[in-house]
Chains A and B, each alone.
Chain A
């Protein structure tokens, strides 16, 4: 099992550009999450999904969109990138909720200039 994979690892965007961060898990997990981690801070939840076709907003959803057409994939779309979106983005998955372990991807470092 590869676990949770994210692409790309690094990206530099210009203000106003758009991009999609890819996330794939091969563990047949129902729950998937997108977090952002700003320097010196903990993770903040952007969006999450409890299964294919179902997504919902987390704590900081503005400026982002997600979709979940399959169990495996949970892409995060940035529209009109802004410097405030410079961050490290983590995708995670878990089989259920509660105390179930969340498995994290390696992260994507995004810089918006």
Chain B
């Protein structure tokens, strides 16, 4: 069965600095998708970035980028120039390309931004 592991329950970063959130996953599938979602105190889930497993190039969205290591089954999120509005829970998620019901979330990392 697929699993998603976020080993850092909480992290803190100084405003304007860079922080990296870790995510590892386990799967026997070769075709899948990976996501990072942000959940601020409002509880709304917001998609931050996504990556197709067949793409070698790492996805980038403005200040957010990923380091996708398929062989190592690692999918870390880097946030550059951290801002106070980045404070939230961040969830890593795995989605099978072959089955609509296979959407698996990690337990999340709470990110604090220090002014």
Tally of contact residues, A, Cβ under 8 A: 25
Asked whether any CB of chain B lies closer than 8 Å to the CB of A99, the reply is yes
> How many whole Å from B28's CB to the nearest CB in chain A?
17
- Whether the pair A56, B100 counts as a contact (CB closer than 8 A) is yes
Asked whether any CB of chain B lies closer than 8 Å to the CB of A57, the reply is yes
B107 contact from A40, A97, A104, Cβ within 8 A: A40
- Whether the pair B91, A42 counts as a contact (CB closer than 8 A) is yes
**In chain B, residues 28-82, which have Cβ atoms closer than 8 Å to a Cβ of chain A?**
33, 35, 42-47, 50-52
Can you list 13 contacts pairing A with B, beta carbon distance less than 8 Å? Answer: A31-B100, A40-B107, A42-B91, A42-B104, A42-B106, A43-B93, A48-B100, A48-B101, A56-B100, A58-B103, A92-B45, A99-B52, A101-B47
- Whether the pair B44, A99 counts as a contact (CB closer than 8 A) is no
Q: A42-B91, A48-B100, A56-B100 in contact; A104/B105 too (CB < 8 A)?
A: no
**Chain B: interface secondary structure?**
strand
> How many whole Å from B22's CB to the nearest CB in chain A?
15
Q: A42-B107, A107-B43 in contact; A57/B101 too (CB < 8 A)?
A: yes
With A40-B108, A98-B52, A99-B33 known, 9 other A-B pairs at CB within 8 A are: A31-B100, A41-B107, A42-B4, A42-B106, A42-B108, A92-B45, A98-B95, A106-B42, A107-B44
Tally of contact residues, B, Cβ under 8 A: 24
**In chain A, residues 41-97, which have Cβ atoms closer than 8 Å to a Cβ of chain B?**
41-45, 48, 50, 56-59, 88, 90, 92, 97
Asked whether any CB of chain A lies closer than 8 Å to the CB of B97, the reply is yes
